[in-house]
Amino acid sequence: MPKPDSIVQTPRARVKYLGVARSGTETLWAIRLTSFALLPLTIAFVVIVAMLGKADLASARALLGAPLVAILMILFVLASVWHMAEGMRSVIADYIRHQHMRELALMANFCFAAGVGLVCVFAVLRLSFVQ
């Protein structure tokens, strides 16, 4: 008795990405999950940025170093970079046909999102713990 997968999909069809994929909803779920989280976090972010509008260095440091503000900023940054990496991945998959260019773009996308996330979190933590 063959396994169910080999009934609906020959090995060649599997290699050519034809037929039932049986996976791939992770990306959709990640986008949904992060956008759900980002709705309240974006409101918090916009309020914080509005409060920073005319702030000098001392008051900006005091505001960004406050525990609640720092936690909200870190959550906003992490959810954002995850969300934007997933979104850009689908843009790259849609528009870049050449396989090697697509792979390069996907790697650059990951590095950009991870870099932005790490630098922002580092800066917020430094504002919280080093005055």
Partner 1 sequence: MAEANYSPLPIEQRRPLSPHIQIYRWSATMVVSIFHRATGVALYVGTLLLTVYLLAAAGGGVAFADVSRFFGSLIGQVILFGYTFALMLHVCGGLRHAVWEAARGFEPGARNALAWGSLIGAVVLTALAWAGAYLL
**Would you tell me which residues interact with partner 1 (CB under 8 A)?**
32, 35, 38-39, 42, 46-47, 49-53, 56-57, 60-61, 64, 73, 77, 80-81, 84, 87-88, 91, 97, 112, 116, 119-120, 122-124, 126-127, 130
Half-sphere exposure of 86 toward its Cβ, with a 13 Å CA cutoff? 17
Give the span between the Cα atoms of 43 and 126, in whole angstroms: 24
Minimum CB distance to partner 1 smaller for 30 or for 84: 84
Cα angle: 84, vertex 29, 117; to 5 degrees: 30
* Least distance (Å) between residue 112 CB and partner 1: 8
CA 28 to chain centre: 12
* Least distance (Å) between residue 5 CB and partner 1: 25
